Amino acid sequence: MTSTKPLEFGGHALVWSGDWTPEGARKAISGAARAGYDYIEIALLDPWKVDIDLTKDLLQEFNLRAHASLGLSASTDVTSTDSSIIAKGDELLHKATDVLAAIGGKELCGVIYCALGKYPGPASKKNRNNSIAAMQRLADYAADKDININLEVVNRYETNIINTGLEGLDFLDEVNRPNAYLHLDTYHMNIEEDNMEKSVLEAKDRLGYVHIGESHRGYLGTGNVDFDSFFKALKRISFQGPITFESFSSEVVDKNLSNTLCVWRNLWDDSDDLAKKALQFMKQRY
């Protein structure tokens, strides 16, 4: 288990760049630094394509840290009953962990326990058990590299495993690893939770990572998410962990992820303005 998490604010790389080419990586990292963030969250959808040395050099150049997220696909779905698909999922998750460790990151988050997308029916007991076993393997692998894993609770259209924070906590009970935490996202909470406080207060020190996103994924404060209640709940549990601003627009596109997340609308076109105002919005409330 890693040491106590520092309170830090970060921005998702897709606020600035849709790829991790040398140009895209520089644009994202410099943008996050320019906006005043402590770290950038890199989407490791294909960790084999990440230039580790380049990324480390850019992080050092702009005095920024990095964490990482990803979502699995049908071909890497660890809830599958096909052992070859599970093996591919393990391989991807372990590679992402290796890359994160190599660039000095401490937090791996996202939909790492299943495929990111709409399932045709509810998860079977076997699907759930396979997911739990995969997260146990991942947590053990990550612990050896001093990395935490954070399981993101997402809405019913993106998983059939855990849709609320309380379900996530029950899932973590079964994973039963000290470096496995809950990851809450206000965009998804706004769809699925009874309110914005309950799961936060119940999670307490098991909440390890937070995504701040508006109901339409645009500028914070222009949708219908009750951010005031959410941040008050974070204060009540003295949350210590990363807080990432996450926003998507058709202005910045990663072909695979944007399609999966249904990013059809152009909600903003000025990454720097969006990012700076988001950081100000969050710090005013926490």
- Reply yes or no on whether the pLDDT at 260 is more than 80: no
- Reply yes or no on whether the pLDDT at 211 is more than 70: yes
User: Given pLDDT bands bounded at 50, 70 and 90, which one contains residue 2?
Assistant: very low
What are the CA-CA distances from residue 276 to residues 200, 208, 219, 226, 273 (Å)? 26, 24, 10, 20, 5
pLDDT at 1: 40
What are the CA-CA distances from residue 71 to residues 74, 155, 158, 167, 258 (Å)? 10, 13, 10, 19, 12
- Reply yes or no on whether the pLDDT at 6 is more than 80: no
Helices of type H across 103-210 = 125-143, 165-175, 186-192, 198-203
pLDDT at 241: 80
| Mean pLDDT computed over 196-225 | 97
| Mean pLDDT computed over 56-65 | 98
Strand partners, 211: 185, 244
- CATH topology assigned to domain 8-285: TIM Barrel (3.20.20)
Question: What percent of the chain lies above the pLDDT cut of 70?
Answer: 94
pLDDT at 251: 67
| Mean pLDDT computed over 157-172 | 98
pLDDT at 249: 74
pLDDT at 259: 76
pLDDT at 253: 61
Contact 172, 151 (CB under 8 A): yes
Nearest partner of 98 among 158, 43, 144, judged by Cα: 144
Contact 215, 224 (CB under 8 A): yes
Indicate whether this model's pTM tops 0.75: yes
Contact 66, 37 (CB under 8 A): no
| Mean pLDDT computed over 195-210 | 98
Supply the residues annotated as catalytic.
152, 246
User: Given pLDDT bands bounded at 50, 70 and 90, which one contains residue 8?
Assistant: very high
| Mean pLDDT computed over 46-55 | 97
Domain ranges of the chain: 8-285
Task: Supply the mean pLDDT for the chain.
Answer: 94
Token pair, residue 237, equals 């549990």
- Reply yes or no on whether the pLDDT at 33 is more than 60: yes
- SS3 category, 252: strand
Nearest partner of 17 among 281, 256, 248, 209, judged by Cα: 248
